[in-house]
């Protein structure tokens, strides 16, 4: 008697423990690593790091004489986004980066994702500079980048042809994002944007999610709004399809 043919076992497809793209997880790891390193380095290194890498309008605008490390007027437009005031500030920025940054990274890829985050960070600093010209304020936090990524995620989260679960798979690459004016006419996208603006302004007044202005203990909402607008424009520029 012939033995029955062996049934081949189907390969088991294992879902990754973290569904977020590696670039998002690496960026979060960098933010956590910087915060831990500065915390363990002692007060002297912490003060020097803030002085060297945080964004301080006074040393850019020149309205008030303010000593500056050579080059800090340039790199601080980006490096301020690597520092956080405390664990709560770091936690919230990392959480929103994980949620909304993952959507954008799946759509744009690692390089364009980093470009968008960088542009949003820079424009967050520019918005702060324009609204706090000449002030000796120490501004830190990845909120500008996070706000820009959140703005870029809106056209995708409410895009045409989006199916349940698409934001967690590469299928989001096939979604047709909302056009700029459609964000205003799409009820869910518009309400989400209004809620974000309201929360941003409220947090700026109350400081409930952690400080961005070190000496005042309040949120740099100007950086949030600047990053948000820049992130939205940058998304449409980077997402152009030939």
Contact 227, 121 (CB under 8 A): yes
Tell whether the model's pLDDT for residue 59 goes beyond 90: no
Residue range of the domain that includes 223? 22-238
46-52 — which CB contacts under 8 Å span 24+ positions?
49/83, 50/83, 50/138, 50/140, 50/214
**Residue 67 pLDDT:** 61
**Residue 237 pLDDT:** 95
pLDDT per position as a tens digit, 187-206: 999 999 999 888 777 665 44
- The tally of domains found in the chain comes to 1
Residue 4 within any structural domain of the chain:
no
Pairwise CA distance, residues 118 & 101, whole Å: 13
Residue 11 within any structural domain of the chain:
no
Residue 13 within any structural domain of the chain:
no
Confidence class of residue 17 from pLDDT cuts 50, 70 and 90?
very low
Residue 174 within any structural domain of the chain:
yes
pTM over 0.85: no
The residue length of the chain stands at: 242
Q: What share of the chain is helix, strand, coil (3-state, %, to 5)?
A: 65, 0, 35
Residue 14 within any structural domain of the chain:
no
Region 54-76: what's the mean pLDDT? 75
Q: What is the DSSP string of 79-95?
A: HGGG--SSHHHHHHHHH
**Residue 137 pLDDT:** 81
Question: Higher model confidence: residue 169 or residue 175?
Answer: 175
Residue 226 within any structural domain of the chain:
yes
Question: Higher model confidence: residue 76 or residue 219?
Answer: 76
Tell whether the model's pLDDT for residue 123 goes beyond 60: yes
Residue 119 within any structural domain of the chain:
yes
Confidence class of residue 25 from pLDDT cuts 50, 70 and 90?
very high
Locate all alpha helices (DSSP H) within 109-142, ordered by sequence.
110-131
Tell me how far CA of residue 42 lies from CA of 48, 138, 166, in angstroms: 10, 19, 45
CATH number at residue 52: 1.20.1540.10
Highest mean pLDDT among 74-83, 115-124, 203-212: 115-124
Residue 3 within any structural domain of the chain:
no
């Amino acid at each position: 008697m012939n033995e029955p043919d062996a049934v081949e076992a189907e390969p088991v497809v294992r879902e990754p423990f973290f569904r977020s793209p590696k670039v998002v997880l690496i960026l979060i790891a960098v933010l956590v690593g910087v915060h831990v390193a500065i915390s363990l380095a002692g007060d002297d290194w912490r003060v020097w790091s803030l002085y060297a890498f945080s964004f301080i309008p006074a040393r850019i605008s020149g309205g008030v004489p303010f000593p500056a490390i050579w080059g800090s007027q340039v790199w601080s437009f980006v490096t301020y986004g690597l520092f956080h005031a405390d664990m709560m500030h770091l936690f919230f920025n990392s959480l929103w980066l994980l949620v909304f940054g993952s959507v954008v990274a799946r759509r744009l890829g690692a390089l364009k994702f980093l470009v968008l985050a960088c542009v949003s960070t820079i424009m967050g600093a520019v918005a702060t500079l324009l609204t706090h010209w000449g002030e000796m304020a120490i501004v830190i936090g990845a909120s500008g980048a996070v706000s820009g990524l959140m703005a870029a995620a809106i056209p995708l989260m409410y895009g045409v042809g989006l199916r349940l679960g698409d934001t967690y798979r590469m299928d989001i690459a096939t979604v047709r994002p909302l056009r700029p004016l459609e964000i205003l006419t799409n009820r869910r996208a518009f309400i989400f944007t209004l809620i974000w603006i309201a929360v941003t302004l409220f947090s700026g007044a109350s400081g409930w999610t952690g400080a961005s202005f070190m000496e005042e203990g309040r949120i740099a909402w100007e950086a949030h709004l600047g990053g948000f607008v820049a992130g939205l424009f940058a998304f449409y520029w980077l997402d152009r399809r030939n």
